[in-house]
Amino acid sequence: MIIERYYSSLTAVIGLVLLAILFAYIQPMILSPFGVTMSANQGTTLALAALAQLVVVLTGGVDLSVGAMVGLTNAIAATYMGTHPAIATLVIIGTLFAGTLAGFVNGLIVAYGRIQPIIVTLATLYIYTGIGLVVRPQPGGSVPSGFANALTGSWGYLPYGLIFLLVVVGVAWVPLMRSRLGRAIKAVGDNRNGARVSGISVARTELWAYTAGGFFAACAGIFLTAQTTSGDPTIGTSYTLNSVAAVVFGGAVLGGGRGVALGPICGAYFLSLLISVLFASGVSPFYQNLLQGAILVIVLAAANVWRLRTRHWLNVMSN
């Protein structure tokens, strides 16, 4: 039962485990507390960004402004945080609010403006990057060292970054997905008209899904701020498409309706670990992007060939 639920994540989980074993073989130092923490920290921002993408993808949309929201919240957090713990706490709350607001605006335009999500979020991508540049025209800012350590440090082999991710999943993601809204999100993504005739307000569901996306993007921005101890409005660019890649790799369907958090989270760690493995194996930088893409395509294709090798196509549908 539980295996069936997480079946779609299998590719990402197996991929991540195999990649980690390969990495440990090439670079044994990775098994030290420092190595584990470092690898975990590298992937956590993308894992949170993948959650932001996933909640939107589940409705059948796509959010191209995820990277811009990560960059914007990073710029806000690093610019205003200062050094005093009390102020820092207020700024963190403010940052979460700003990200949520950005997501809310996305949702408002998508749901009530009735414009294709890809166009809306492309437009807001530019708007949020622009606001980020106004907040912080050049990279800089500072954060209290306690804040950075609390998120990126470790207790032996246990990285705090991983705990932060689990807290976000436990406190925000799981309750959201178990609520009526969570079920409505999946229903809308699975079958819009079906959801509508069952009495679900499609517009309202979309609005809150994008808003939740903004919140998770802000969590990613806050973690990124701790990781880089500074703000840079253009830093988020790479998270947009990588978050889509992590979501798809994690077994969610771009058409909407299907996907659990485990897959995209493992997908995110897989993608960020892949960069390290390519560096460690000494592949020329000119081929790294090419290999990254090729590996992704091959793994996904292989997983699908295996999955589709079934006698009854109805079995495929139930996956």
Partner 1 sequence: MKRRDLLVQAAGGLGSAMLLGALPSMAWADNSACYKAWSGSTKMFSWPHTKKPPYRIALSNSYIGNEWRAEMATIAKMYANRPEVKKLIKDFKISSAGNDVNAQIAQINQMILSGVDAIVLDAASPTGLNSTIERAANAGVLVVSFDNVVTTDKAITINQDQFDMGKRWADFVIKHTGGKGHVLVVRGVAGTFVDQQRYKGGKSVFDKHPDIKTTEVYGNWDNGTAQKVTANAIASGAKFDAVWSEGGDSGVVNAFKQHGLKMPPIAGEAENGFRLAAAKDGFPMMSIGQSAGLVALSMKVALSVLQGEKVPQSIQSPLNIVTNDNLEKGKNYFTGVPDSFFDGVSVPDCGLHFDAKQVYHGID
Cβ at position 249, least distance to partner 1 in Å:
17
Number of residues that bind partner 1 (CB under 8 A): 38
Cβ at position 132, least distance to partner 1 in Å:
9
Residue 146 as a binder of partner 1 (CB under 8 A): the answer is no
Among 233, 251, 263, 267, binds partner 1 (CB under 8 A): 233
Q: φ, ψ for residue 159 (rounded to 5)?
A: -75, 135
Residues of this chain, 104-133, that bind partner 1 according to CB under 8 A: 133
Residue 46 as a binder of partner 1 (CB under 8 A): the answer is yes
Contact 45, 223 (CB under 8 A): yes
Residue 295 as a binder of partner 1 (CB under 8 A): the answer is no
Q: φ, ψ for residue 158 (rounded to 5)?
A: -95, 105
The span of 195-203, 235-243, 245-253, 302-310 binding partner 1 (CB under 8 A) equals 235-243
Distance CA 263, CA 265 (A): 5
Helix axes 262-280, 33-57, angle to 10 degrees: 130
The span of 88-96, 116-124, 211-219, 222-230 binding partner 1 (CB under 8 A) equals 222-230
Among 53, 100, 240, 272, binds partner 1 (CB under 8 A): 272
Residues in the chain: 319
Distance CA 45, CA 227 (A): 9
Say if residue 40 is exposed, middle or buried (CB neighbours under 10 Å; 0-12, 13-18, 19+). buried
Cβ at position 194, least distance to partner 1 in Å:
40
Q: φ, ψ for residue 231 (rounded to 5)?
A: -120, 145
Residue 291 as a binder of partner 1 (CB under 8 A): the answer is no
Q: Which is nearer to partner 1, 10 or 274 (CB)?
A: 274
What binding mask, one character per residue, do residues 16-45 give for partner 1 by CB under 8 A, x or -? -----------x-xx---xx--x---x--x
Contact 249, 299 (CB under 8 A): yes
Stated as kind and residue range, the H or E segment containing 11 is helix 10-26
Contact 271, 246 (CB under 8 A): yes
Residue 148 as a binder of partner 1 (CB under 8 A): the answer is yes
Residue 82 as a binder of partner 1 (CB under 8 A): the answer is no
Provide CB contacts within 8 A for 47, sequence distance 6+: 165, 246, 264, 265, 268, 269
Residue 286 as a binder of partner 1 (CB under 8 A): the answer is yes
Q: Which is nearer to partner 1, 65 or 79 (CB)?
A: 79
Q: Which residues contribute to the site for partner 1 (CB under 8 A)?
A: 27, 29-30, 34-35, 38, 42, 45-46, 78, 133, 137-141, 148, 152, 227-235, 237-238, 272, 275-276, 279-280, 282, 285-286, 289
